[in-house]
């Protein structure tokens, strides 16, 4: 299925490279699992079950974690109307529409493909944005579905999640079982822990690099589809500013899903952490939208001369 969202070769290449490099990591990772569990059959079964659960149920898991609920047209007619228009404009299946009761203004898309996609917005976003701004945000999320980068991030994050769990398992095995294990077993656990830690670190960096680019690609695609980059820029500025005023302690639960959000749930600019951030800076995103606005001959963006 091809939508009317402009294709992004740079995004496609980056997704391919990310998946290829992460695939290479499986060699060392699976070897570490087999060494620990001493059964390749058990390793295959465990990995397949966990991967299948994440791939097939990622939308339900995300909605449950963020207190989202599917809403029908009678519940949110205006929201459904915007999604209807954008789906028709993009020539793609309409995703399931959901609303989270969170006051934090944000939105995310999830699902393994365009036919099984969900777009969720928070009540805080609906309350704060004007119709044109909301359209820009929803177009941004729809582009993630059209470009299939939501599915790629879901798949790519799987290896890092499993590696992180294995690090914890090996650590506690050494911590609490060291006195009952021989030196060979301890050496195996140490190797497993080292390989898993390396896999987790590399996965983390690869996913973050892909995530930053995919957000710029989604901004670009949404601005070109709607023809109103200034509305998207206004939404970005408004949402980022409002999130910055929310106490950090209230954002901690949401931060686990930053890679999927329209804007990250940070109470302030993360400083050196921006090098490991899931999103480009607000300045980068506004600069890109400013260039698109100039190309389209649109009026100046908010805050721009």
User: The tokens of 48 are what?
Assistant: 């397949």
- pLDDT more than 70, % of the chain: 78
Residue 279 marked as a ligand binder: no
Number of domains in the chain: 1
254 assigned to some structural domain = no
Q: Is 141 a catalytic residue?
A: yes
Does residue 151 lie in a domain region?
A: yes
More confident residue, 167 or 99: 99
For 90-116, letters b (16+ CB in 10 Å) and e give bebebbbbbbbebebbbbbbbbbebeb
Q: Per the annotation, does 144 bind a ligand?
A: yes
pLDDT at 174: 56
Assess if residue 17 is contained within a domain: yes
Find out whether 298 is annotated in a ligand binding site.
no
Residue 280 lies in a domain: no
Answer yes or no: is 82 within a domain. yes
Q: pLDDT (tens digit, 9 = 90+) per residue, 185-229?
A: 677 667 767 777 777 788 788 888 888 999 999 999 999 999 999
Mean pLDDT of all residues in 140-159: 84
| Containing structural domain, residue 175 | 9-226
Catalytic one among 78, 130, 133, 141?
141
Q: Of 31, 13, 22, 28, give the one whose Cα is nearest residue 51.
A: 22
pLDDT band (50, 70, 90) for residue 163: low
23, part of any domain: yes
Q: Report if residue 14 sits inside a domain.
A: yes
pTM over 0.85? The answer is no
Average pLDDT over residues 275-294: 91
Q: Identify the CA nearest to 195 among candidates 31, 20, 15, 14.
A: 31
How is residue 171 written in tokens?
């650590």
Residues 6 or more apart whose Cβ sits within 8 Å of residue 163: 29, 196, 197, 199, 200, 203
Would you say residue 35 lies in a domain? yes
Euclidean distance between CA atoms 232 and 146, whole angstroms = 18
Per-residue model confidence (pLDDT) at position 269: 53
* Tens digits of residue pLDDT in 94-144: 999 999 998 899 999 988 788 889 999 999 999 999 999 999 999 999 999
Q: What is the CATH number of the domain that holds 176?
A: 3.30.2010.10
Query: In this structure, is the dihedral angle defined by the CA atoms of residues 233, 276, 204 and 264, taken in order, positive or negative?
Result: negative
Q: What band does 232 get if pLDDT is binned at 50, 70 and 90?
A: very high
């Amino acid at each position: 299925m091809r939508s009317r969202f402009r294709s992004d070769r740079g995004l496609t290449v980056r997704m391919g490279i990310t998946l290829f490099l992460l695939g290479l990591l499986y060699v060392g990772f699976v070897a570490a699992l087999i060494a620990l569990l001493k059964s390749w059959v058990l390793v295959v079964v465990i990995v397949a079950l966990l991967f299948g659960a994440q791939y097939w149920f990622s939308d339900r898991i995300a909605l449950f974690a963020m207190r989202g609920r599917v809403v029908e047209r009678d519940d949110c007619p205006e929201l459904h109307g915007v999604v209807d228009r954008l789906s028709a404009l993009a020539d793609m299946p309409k995703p399931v529409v959901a609303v989270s009761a969170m006051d934090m203004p944000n939105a995310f898309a999830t699902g393994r493909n365009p036919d099984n996609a969900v777009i969720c917005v928070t009540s805080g976003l609906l309350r704060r944005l004007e119709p044109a701004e909301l359209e820009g945000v929803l177009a941004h999320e729809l582009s993630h579905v059209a470009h299939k980068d939501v599915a790629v991030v879901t798949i790519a994050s799987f290896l890092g999640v499993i590696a992180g769990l294995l690090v914890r398992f090996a650590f506690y095995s050494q911590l609490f079982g060291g006195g009952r294990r021989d030196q060979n077993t301890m050496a195996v656990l140490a190797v497993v822990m080292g390989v898993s830690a390396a896999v987790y670190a590399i996965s983390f960096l690869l996913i973050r690099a892909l995530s930053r680019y995919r957000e710029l690609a989604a901004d670009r695609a949404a601005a070109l589809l709607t023809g109103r980059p200034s509305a998207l820029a206004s939404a970005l500025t408004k949402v980022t500013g409002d999130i910055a005023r929310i106490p950090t302690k209230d954002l901690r639960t949401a931060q686990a899903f930053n890679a999927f959000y329209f804007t990250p749930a940070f109470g302030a600019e993360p400083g050196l952490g921006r090098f490991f951030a899931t999103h480009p800076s607000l300045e980068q995103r506004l600069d890109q939208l400013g260039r698109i606005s100039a190309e389209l001959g649109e009026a100046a963006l908010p805050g721009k001369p």
